[in-house]
Structure formats: structure tokens, C-alpha cells
Structure 1
């Protein structure tokens, strides 16, 4: 019994020694130029640097509440936008509608017939506009259609499966600009904030031996429809690269 206890104590001492050694190594590394944040979470000043080309909007959905968090390069705090009219359950319902659309698209390609109500698109995209995107546009004071800014959506959880970039009111009575996300912004998606953060090493070496492999998918044996523009795109790539 004493031997087992002693062995356990030795294991604990070994772990403690390794932890102390690791901390010393990290401190040594962080004293090197450019490595002061090595293996540390990014501070907010670094996260702000992720938004030089436009606001980054993190969308979060949980069973208790939904929120948007906006990061701007020239604002020293996160702008919190509650989304009280959007719920986790609503996001799940919208995912179901989207799956129905995708099934319809597959049936349409195979030549079968399936009834499809165009109004369903409106019922799908309008809550995204009213409950998610419009509050964000209001918080950013994007009120003039046509003055397009660049925005980066960083969806999490169920938001990942929803087309935020297409949110809007598509009924005929809303045909005038000002009721759709693309009236105000050009949308891009990012998986994380840090992916936009400037790299410490932005130098890219020039390579005269640069080569590119572009694969053109020929039509399949009637299983899928042809993808228009593939040949033209490949020709443009060849012309651009010489």
C-alpha cells in the first residue's frame, strides 16, 4: 500500500515538474519579438484588426437566446445586438424548410414533378431579415440602399445552415430597394474571427515556376444536369495565366 502511494506521489511530482518546465519555456518564447501572445487567446485589439474591410458579425443561437456580436476596427468594444424575435427552435424549423427546397431541386433535375409553392421562399427568407439581419443593419446604421459596404458573417451553431446573405422581403410590395440584405451590403462568410487577422508574415515569395491544375468536370451520364459556364471559366483562367 505504501509502495502504491509512493508511486502515485512520484507521478504527481513528475507532472508538477513538467508543468513548471512548460511555463518557463512559454515565458522564454514570449520574450522573443513577435511572440508575446504565443499560445494565448487573442486580445480584443487583435480581434479588432480582423475587421479592416468591414464589420464582422458573429451570429450565435442557443436554446435560451439568440444574439449578434459586431466587431468594428474603429470601435474598442463589441457591439451586442439581442435577437429576441429569433429562437433556436425557429432556426431548426428554417433548416427543415431549406432541406425541403433542396429535395425539390433534386426532384426537378431528375425530371419528376413536385408541387412547390413560391410563397414558401418568402416565408423562409423574411424571418431571417426581420428577426436577424434587419436588427444588425439598424445597429450599424446601414439605412441607405445602394451604398454597399462589405460585411463578414461569422455564423455559429444552426446559423451555419441558413443563407443570411439572401435574407429579405421578396413579396411584390417590397420590390423597392431597402428590404433585402444585398441592398445594403456585400456579404462574405468566415468560420472564425482570427482567420481575418493580419498575419505576422505577409511577404509572399514570387515563384516563376507557378503552375495551376484546373479540372473540368464533363457531363455525367444523365445523373446531374450540366453546369453552365464551365468551359468559359476554364478559358478565362488559361488567358489570365498566359
Structure 2
């Protein structure tokens, strides 16, 4: 209805202009007339909005989404929104059906989260200089805190109130200071009386992240089978991945001098899956300028969004990292991965900090083995990614140190 759209836009401009001009009028009589005109325009604007809301699919125009619509995000498992403020920290669990559950996190405060973030940065930097066989005691202490003070109260509700079965999927939706904490890696690191391990979060559930409920709802729309894979890299990792992709899947490999911005965009356009083994950088000031480093020039999120890849399904950001110790390090790559999800990819695996290529290849190899099992069937199903990553990180425990297992996260469906 172009006439209604034009009318709404014109009235919006006039209401805005009237509000701005009335604020600068000193004469009382003139101000009263301006206020009357403002109320008249506002009434017409409200009538136009009401008419738009009467149209099919526009009932929520200019309104926040209804809870019932957002609950669609939890169709395949609960979504846990973590909220931090100067007043309190808490979680809201959106279950598959029924009302949301509020979980107070009374043992932790905003200052504690900021302190945890700094301690994680230090522990990860320290671990990167350690021998792979040395115990990561600093990290173990921190992950125990994450378990006891953040995730355990949430797990108690999932188990005892929602009766969620083991190995079900859950989605973590961290906000504010929680975005800096590797919540998925929460672990009590305790032994039972029989010397068996107390289960950690990833023993109990298959964890994914989502930047928002709406992003997860959008990602669920029209997922299908993958139709081809683009392999983009500036190093040797592609050879490993190439061997693990089913022979039935078409693929486009771009590496070395051929890994250009134009070549990458062309490969993305003609494939539904992508494996990126190259550096990535988040731009906090201009998020659309966040980019992957190609041979010639940067491939930005804006480039990918403008290209319009309607059939984008899955992306694995293998070595996309920023330097360990950057002030924004824990936030950056999760948001670069989330940016790809906003660009249309329904399922994304990313890394939270720098990846050690020599050990990360074990995770990559295990991931694709589970992703394409049984390989003979050649099915490319992006909804298996969270499960495959969970299996992979469990499978490589003896080969890969703790900080290089917990670096990988899954976002989306």
C-alpha cells in the first residue's frame, strides 16, 4: 500500500519537525498554537499507524515483538538470556512452552564479571606460553567460578523445574558483561566418591550461542541441505578439510595468491557452506567494516551483506582471531561470527581468542568427521554443527589443551 506508506512517512516527518520547532518558541501564544498543531499531527500519525496495524502481517508494526513470537527461538531447546547491571545479575530462561523463568544470580555482581574478564585474558595469555601437557590451573579456577556462581543456578532450573533431558540443546544469549565470559565451558572440576567426574555444562547439554532471540528465529527460517562448500584460506588447513568433505559435495578452494576479496565473494555466492581459515578483525566503531584478511584487500561484513547470499547455510571461522591481550579480545570474534549470522548464515562456528593452528587442526578434523558421519551419505546439514562441535571437543581432550578446546563456539541453529 504505497499511499499509506507515503502518508505515514510524511506524517512522521511533520510530527518530528513540529516537536523540534515547538521546543525553541519563547512566545506563550505562539507556543500554545504550536502545541495544538503538534497534538493534531500526532492524532493523524496514530491513526495512520492504527491503519497499518490492521493490515495482514503488520499487527506488531512499531511494537516490540510479542513473547509468543520470540518464544519461537526456543522451539528446539530453551534460550538462556543473561543480564548484568550495576543493580543485579540474573538469567531469564525462555522455555519451549510456557512462561519464562527468572533465575537470580545473587553470588555474582557486575564488578565480579569485569574482574573475571580480566582474569580470563591473563589466564589464556599465560596458557598460550605453557607446555600443552601442563595443567591449566588458572583456567580451572575461573571455570569453577563460572559453574558455581553463574551456570549452576541455571542448570538447577533446567534439570529440576523444566526437566530437560541430558544432551538436549540449549542456547546462551549473553548481554553486557556476560559476553566476555566463556559460559559454555563452565565446569565444576570435581570428582564424585567413586572417582568419576562431576559433569560439566557441555557434558549435560549441547550449547550454542545467539546474539538475540530474533536472530535465532530468523536463522530457523528455511534451513535446507547444503549444496556446495567454499574453502577460503591463506594457509594449509584447506587440504585437511577438503579430504573430510563428502565427495558428492561440490567445492571451491581458494588459497594462496588466489585468496582475493573478489574471489572470495564469487565463491560465497555460488556455495551454501564456507570454511574460512584466515585472520578476522572486529571493528567496534564501524561493525559493518569488520573484516576477514584476504591477499589483496579486506573482505568486510558489508561486502557479504551487499552480495546477498540467499542460500547461505553454514560458516566455520577456523583461524579468525585477534591478538591475545587486546582489550576487546573476548568480545571480538563472537561478534564477527554473529555478524555472519546477521548476514544470512544460519549456523556459524567461531573462535573466542587466538587459535594455535598446530593443535586446532585436531578440533577441525574431529568436527568435520562428526558433521559428515556417515560420510558415504554426503548429507550437508547445518543443524548438526552444535552437536558435532560438542563431540569434537570431547574427542580431542587428550590431544588439545583446555584453552584451545574451549576457544570454539557455535552460534545459530
Q: Secondary structure at the match of 1:57?
A: strand
**Unmatched segments (≥5 aa) in structure 2:** 1-24, 252-413
Structure-2 change in CA distance of 1:72 and 1:146 (3 Å) = closer
- 1:166, CA displacement in angstroms? 0.4
Q: Which runs of 4+ in 1 moved over 6 A?
A: 142-146, 172-175
Alignment deviations for residues 118-163 of structure 1 (CA, whole Å, 9 cap, x no partner)? 2111111001101111111110117999930111101111100000
TM-score by length of 1: 0.75
Q: Which moved more, 1:60-69 or 1:7-16?
A: 7-16
CA distance in 2, matches of 1:180, 1:72: 21
| Superposition map of 1:196-235 within 5 A | 196-197=216-217, 202=221, 214-218=231-235, 229-233=237-241
CA distance in 2, matches of 1:17, 1:233: 64
CA distance in 2, matches of 1:202, 1:149: 21
Alignment deviations for residues 175-226 of structure 1 (CA, whole Å, 9 cap, x no partner)? 7354310011111111112222368x9569xxxxx9976431237xxxxxxx
Aligned residues: CA RMSD = 3.6
TM-score by length of 2: 0.46
Which of 152, 155, 165 matches 2:184?
A: 165
Contact 1:68 1:136 in 2 (8 A): yes
Determine the structure 1 residue equivalent to 2:205: 185
Residue 83 (structure 1) aligned with residue 105 (structure 2): yes
Residue 241 (structure 1) aligned with residue 261 (structure 2): no
Structure having the higher helix fraction is 2
Structure-2 change in CA distance of 1:202 and 1:160 (3 Å) = closer
CA distance in 1, matches of 2:218, 2:190: 41
Alignment deviations for residues 20-67 of structure 1 (CA, whole Å, 9 cap, x no partner)? 232122111111111111111112211222210100101112222211
Alignment deviations for residues 88-119 of structure 1 (CA, whole Å, 9 cap, x no partner)? 121111101121134336667xxxx9xx9721
Which of 131, 143, 153 matches 1:125?
A: 143
Structure-2 change in CA distance of 1:67 and 1:203 (3 Å) = closer
CA distance in 2, matches of 1:218, 1:22: 57
Contact 1:57 1:151 in 2 (8 A): yes
- 1:173, CA displacement in angstroms? 6.8
| Superposition map of 1:24-173 within 5 A | 24-75=47-98, 77-104=99-126, 118-141=136-159, 147-170=166-189
Greater relative contact order (Cα 8 A, min sep 6): structure 1 or 2?
Answer: 1
User: What count of residue pairs does the alignment treat as equivalent?
Assistant: 220
Structure-2 change in CA distance of 1:25 and 1:105 (3 Å) = farther
